[in-house]
Amino acid sequence: MRLKIENIKENPVNLLRRAGYTFQRNERDEMSFVRPMARSGYPRFHMYAHLEGLALVINFHLDQKKETYGQGTRHHGEYEDEGALQVEARRIQSLLA
User: How far apart are the C-alpha atoms of 79 and 97, rounded to whole Å?
Assistant: 22
Residue 73 confidence class, pLDDT cut points 50, 70, 90: low
When mean pLDDT is compared across 14-18, 20-24, 59-63, 74-78, the lowest value belongs to 74-78
Where are the chain's structural domains? 2-96
**How high is the pLDDT of residue 51?**
96
What predicted TM-score, i.e. pTM, was given to this entire model?
Answer: 0.84
**Residue 41: which of 22, 58, 59 has the closest Cα?**
22
User: How far apart are the C-alpha atoms of 84 and 81, rounded to whole Å?
Assistant: 9
